[in-house]
Amino acid sequence: MNIKLLIEYLGTNYGGWQKQKNSITIQEKIEECLLKIFREKISIVGSGRTDSGVHALEQVANFHVSDLNKINMIELKNKLNQNLVADIRIKSCTEVNKDFHSQHSCKQKTYLYRIKTLEPCNVFEEGRFWYINREIDIKSIKLISKNFIGKKDFKNFCKVGYAGNSTIRTIKKISVVRKKNFIDIKITGEGFLRGMVRLMVGSFINYEKGMIKKADINNALKNRNKLKINLSVPACGLYLYNVEY
């Protein structure tokens, strides 16, 4: 039996999605709960890694169990949520085709980056937005974001340790929306490199501030030169927004 999980979490207190030796992770916490429910060690596979401090509105994961372990999906969701801590929640459990793989079956993902300007974050917003103490010209961000659309080499827009053999990725859509002093940047692509979204948003902000020029970004995308300022924005504003199959 192959079971798909739809998960939301606040990443503030975790070392990211993927299990690691020296940090508590989302994957680890969910697997601990599955061990209690099924009484066997179960490994889950996520649609992709999220780094330390990064949140998810719709992370997708799947795992396999013996057909002998038949369980009602609503009951499974409820049991998981009863055992999980408050900052991790299972939104749904679904039995899927045995060939479904949360990472390899993925067609595209959307990440959301959230910024608050001028007025500092209150206690309910702290750790969920990047606060910038000034007004932001979103027209400038919209303009430069167009340069990232399409199939490009993002070698200069990722962190060391990216997965795979190629740094070429396809960005399908970028939207920038402001409501009062909140700015939401959504980036949709077929796949992303490690740290790629945070470095892209950083380049948007550096361009808007006048710290780098359009030519600098174009040269970086064409692998002619690295950016002289390569800002990786804070993890607290980043959310895995949606995964499509």
Question: Averaging pLDDT over each range in 60-74, 160-174, 210-224, which range is the top one?
Answer: 210-224
- Cα–Cα distances in Å, from 179 out to 34, 36, 127, 138? 40, 44, 19, 11
Closest CA to 30 of 66, 5, 67, 1: 5
Indicate the pLDDT class of residue 98, thresholds 50, 70 and 90.
very high
Residue 230 has a pLDDT of: 84
Average pLDDT, the chain: 95
What is d(CA 106, CA 144) in angstroms, rounded to the nearest whole number?
A: 28
- Cα–Cα distances in Å, from 46 out to 100, 163, 208, 240? 12, 14, 34, 12
With 90 as the cut, is the pLDDT of residue 229 above it?
A: no
Instruction: Reduce the secondary structure of 170-201 to three states and give it as a string.
Output: EEEEEEEEEECCEEEEEEEECCCCCCHHHHHH
Q: 68-72, 83-87, 97-101, 159-163: which has the minimum mean pLDDT?
A: 159-163
Residue 118 has a pLDDT of: 96
Architecture of domain 2-96: 2-Layer Sandwich (3.30)
Active site residues: 51
With 80 as the cut, is the pLDDT of residue 222 above it?
A: yes
Which CATH fold would you assign to the domain 108-244?
A: Alpha-Beta Plaits (3.30.70)
Across-strand partners of 175?
Answer: 186
With 70 as the cut, is the pLDDT of residue 236 above it?
A: yes
Indicate the pLDDT class of residue 126, thresholds 50, 70 and 90.
very high
With 90 as the cut, is the pLDDT of residue 33 above it?
A: yes
Q: Give the tens place of pLDDT for each residue, 133-147.
A: 999 999 999 999 999
- Domain ranges in the chain are 2-96, 108-244
What is d(CA 99, CA 214) in angstroms, rounded to the nearest whole number?
A: 44
Residue 225 has a pLDDT of: 87
Cβ atoms within 10 Å, residue 100: 16
> Is-same-fold flag (2-96; 108-244)?
yes
pTM score, whole prediction:
0.94
SS3 for 104?
coil
